[in-house]
Amino acid sequence: MRIAVVILNWNGEVLLERYLKSVVDYSDNAKIYVVDNASTDGSVAYVKKNFPQVSVIVNPENGGFTTGYNQGLKHIDADIYCLLNSDIEVTPNWLEPIAELFNTNKEVAIVQPKILDMLKKDHFEYAGAAGGFIDRLGYPFCRGRIFQALEKDTGQYDDTVEIFWATGACMFIKKEVFWELNGFDETYFAHQEEVDLCWRAKNRGYKVFYTGKSKVYHLGGSTLSNMNPKKTFLNFRNSLFSITKNLPRRRALILIFTRLILDAVAAFRFIMQFKFRHFLAILQAHLSFYIRFWKMYRKREKVKFTKNYYRTKSIVWSHFVNDIKDFNNLVKD
């Protein structure tokens, strides 16, 4: 099984200097690529000079995470794509458990390893942690991370289990499945595009898995930090995109109306915290969503969504009202 490790880069020379060596050192059985999103720093020259064994693909423009990967992957031939952030440090033998999982379970289309925090290595990291789920209202969350509450890694997620979505920070996906789904939806630009991709894969009967037998460390926040209003805008808007596209019509419309109310509550909370730019980001997210509603609606998968993928009724209620910070303490529906 041929694995291509594909790192999307935009002006990330400093990150490549820190973390590319670990990928080269510990990925003997894979071909490594850097897909550059029209960087203006010395990224491309640095890779070519210091890592001649790494292939470089230069995109004509910075189209964000979605367009960047869609453009770059067209030039890569492999059985499995590994989409890897430039701010990730991999570990010895990180690829073997992933390859084994694909080889032993033919229904598996997407896999994610354990994602730990680069700066606090005994804790899970925000982006992906130990695999993603969603609640009945369409809010995504992770094993090992509920909102800003990050669990300590004590081996509680050293298992191999089916999940709902895998993080784009380190996602393995079969090439044939990626292109069957027409890649990432480029309307998203960045953030939650992987949730949508995994949702569409599940709607077609494919399985998404997590394995704790493989682990990597993620710096996080190198593109947009959690405090950036643009990230708030993209997360709120793109979540509505995914609901519109991937749920049966009646359920999607009811949920969009419900989210309108809940997002208004979130916006009010930002006002109370004097985070006025985040308040405006939510308003802009809804405006952008409504402008694009019919475009997204026409992309909707015409299949029945399986309710068993829900983990809990409301992750917001569980966390902020019931003060639940650990995934294993959630009440499963």
pLDDT at 291 over 70: yes
Contacts of 33 (CB under 8 A, 6+ apart): 4, 5, 6, 7, 54, 55, 56, 57, 72, 76
Q: Are residues 37 and 171 in the same domain?
A: yes
Domain end, chosen from 189, 218, 247, is at 218
Domain boundaries, position 198: 3-218
Alpha-carbon span 159 to 97, nearest angstrom:
12
- Asked, for residue 172, whether it belongs to a domain, the answer is yes
Q: Are residues 295 and 212 in the same domain?
A: no
Rounded CA Rg of the chain: 19
Question: What does the CA dihedral 217, 20, 192, 323 come to, rounded to 10 degrees?
Answer: 20
Residue-wise pLDDT for 13-41, tens only, equals: 999 999 999 999 999 989 999 999 999 99
Q: Hey, how many other C-beta atoms are within 10 angstroms of the C-beta on 289?
A: 22
pLDDT at 300: 84
Residue linked to tokens 């990230």: 231
- Asked, for residue 52, whether it belongs to a domain, the answer is yes
Residue-wise pLDDT for 209-260, tens only, equals: 999 999 999 998 655 556 789 999 999 999 999 999 999 889 899 999 999 9
Residue-wise pLDDT for 258-285, tens only, equals: 999 999 999 999 999 999 999 999 999 9
3-state DSSP helix/strand/coil percent for the chain, to nearest 5? 40, 20, 40
Interval 154-183 mean pLDDT? 97
- Asked, for residue 153, whether it belongs to a domain, the answer is yes
Q: Are residues 149 and 34 in the same domain?
A: yes
- Asked, for residue 161, whether it belongs to a domain, the answer is yes
Domain end, chosen from 218, 237, 260, is at 218
Q: Are residues 100 and 208 in the same domain?
A: yes
pTM of the model: 0.94
Q: Are residues 91 and 214 in the same domain?
A: yes
Interval 52-64 mean pLDDT? 95
Q: Are residues 197 and 240 in the same domain?
A: no
- Asked, for residue 72, whether it belongs to a domain, the answer is yes
CATH code: domain of residue 78: 3.90.550.10
Q: Are residues 202 and 73 in the same domain?
A: yes
Q: Are residues 103 and 131 in the same domain?
A: yes
- Asked, for residue 224, whether it belongs to a domain, the answer is no
Q: Are residues 297 and 203 in the same domain?
A: no
Alpha-carbon span 192 to 207, nearest angstrom:
18
Q: Are residues 73 and 206 in the same domain?
A: yes
**pLDDT classification of 287: cutoffs 50, 70, 90:** very high
| 55 or 308, higher pLDDT | 55
pLDDT at 257: 94
- Asked, for residue 9, whether it belongs to a domain, the answer is yes
CA 121 from centre of chain: 20
Q: Are residues 170 and 293 in the same domain?
A: no
Number of domains in the chain: 2
Domain end, chosen from 198, 218, 238, is at 218
Q: Are residues 173 and 238 in the same domain?
A: no
- Asked, for residue 223, whether it belongs to a domain, the answer is no
